[in-house]
Amino acid sequence: MLKNSIFIIFFALFLNACSFKTKALIQTNNEGIFIQAKKNQSINLHIHNPSKIPTNLENKLIEKFKDLNFNLKDKNADYDIFINIVDFKKYSYAQRLRSSNTKFFFNNFDRIDDVFEMEVENYYIMQVNLQINSHNLSQKTSLLARTTHLGNLNDVKQALEDKIIEQIISFFYF
C-alpha cells in the first residue's frame, strides 16, 4: 500500500512537471501588419542591432523604400519603422535513414545495411522584430527568414536580408 501511494505521488509529480510549457528556441510574435500607404509619404527608419551582425539591411531597405516613392525624414514622418535584428544562426537537422528491404530478403546477409545513413540538412535563420508606428496606429511582428544556401556566409546574409526586406515591403499596400 505504501509503495502504491509513493508511486502515485511520483507519477503525479512527473505529470505535473511535464505539463509546464518549455521555452522555444526562437520567440516570435506572428501578428500581421497591414498598412494602406500613399505615394510620396515619409518614413523614419530606426535599426537596432544588439546581435552585432554586420549587415547591409538599412541601406537596402532605404533603397527599396525610395523605389516605392517614399521620402526619408528624421522627424515628423508618416511612418516610424523600428527594426531590431535579433538573431542570425546556423541550424542543423539530421535524420537516420535505413532500408530494411535487404534484411527482409537476404536475412542479414549484408552487414553494410546495419550502418545507418544520415540525411543532414543545414540552414540559416535570421530573426528580426519589427514595429511600424503611424500617427494613429502601432503594429508589430517578428519576421523569420530561412535559407539553405550555404556556399558563402556573405551570400547567406544577403539572401536572408533580401527575404526580410521583401517581407517588410509587403506590409505596405498602395
In a domain, 3, yes or no: no
In a domain, 11, yes or no: no
Structural domain of 100: 36-173
Specify the pLDDT at position 45: 94
In a domain, 6, yes or no: no
Going residue by residue through the chain, which has 174 residues, state the pLDDT in tens, using 9 for 90 and above.
677 778 788 777 766 666 655 555 555 566 778 888 888 999 999 999 988 888 899 999 999 999 999 999 988 999 999 999 998 988 888 776 665 555 555 555 555 555 566 777 889 999 999 999 998 889 999 999 998 877 788 889 999 999 999 999 999 988
In a domain, 10, yes or no: no
User: What is the residue type of 42?
Assistant: S
| DSSP, residue by residue, 77-139 | -SEEEEEEEEEEEEEEEEEEE---HHHHHHSS--GGGGSPEEEEEEEEEEEEEEEEE-SS-EE
Nearest to 135 by CA among 63, 59, 60, 44: 44
Q: Are 100 and 134 in contact (CB under 8 A)?
A: no
Q: Are 143 and 167 in contact (CB under 8 A)?
A: yes
Q: Are 47 and 85 in contact (CB under 8 A)?
A: yes
In a domain, 27, yes or no: no
Cα–Cα distances in angstroms (integers) from residue 153 to residues 59, 84, 87, 91, in the given order: 19, 21, 15, 14
In a domain, 28, yes or no: no
In a domain, 13, yes or no: no
Total domains in the chain come to: 1
The secondary structure of 11-64, three-state, reads HHHHHHHHCCCCCCCCCCCCCCCCEECCCCCEEEEEEECCCCCCCCHHHHHHHH
Nearest to 148 by CA among 96, 94, 91, 95: 91
Note the Cα 106 to chain centre separation in Å: 46
In a domain, 61, yes or no: yes
- Cα gap 35→22, rounded to integer Å: 34
Specify the pLDDT at position 114: 53
Model-level pTM?
Answer: 0.70
> Residue 135: CB partners within 8 Å, gap ≥ 6?
78
Find the CATH number of the domain harbouring 44: 3.40.50
